[in-house]
Amino acid sequence: MKNEKIILGIDPGTTIMGFGIISVTKGKMEMISIHELILKKYPNHETKLKYIFERTLSLIDEFHPDEVALEAPFFGKNVQSMLKLGRAQGVAMAASLYRDIPITEYSPKKIKMAITGNGNASKEQVAAMLQNLLNLKEFPTKYLDASDGLAVAVCHHFNSGNAVSEKSYSGWESFLRQNPDRAR
């Protein structure tokens, strides 16, 4: 039986995408790594999606996570922004499923609630609580999107085995079974 579990948390974005990786050994969490992918420098959305896929795959190949947790897109008023964000999430999901890694999605409120106890907490409050939970002397990144990726991983650990209302996928077939409206 494996004692260690590695979780990759992803905060999808089209400007900055955040990734956080934790290790859980006998219930004790430790931050392994934190990354951000700066996407605002790329000329178009298609190029951004390519880099999201490549970066997600490279992190999977480097750290060999057992599970991937993603922040689900929240519903906004700008349909074009939502579409782009959904594509970014979908590409990260595809990279994870390509490597046969199970995925779980969490809503932004659920993530904030798991970390701070307040579903309306600010990004700064989430980062401060993560620093405390993971015993970090200082936060290792200036981008709060990266800390959001770490928050997704920690939320997943806290909710392991309890993800009742969240969606989990163990592969393409599982994804398609749970989302028949997305298959065309």
Active site residues: 11, 71, 145
Distance, CA of 108 to CA of 105 (rounded, Å): 10
Distance, CA of 157 to CA of 147 (rounded, Å): 15
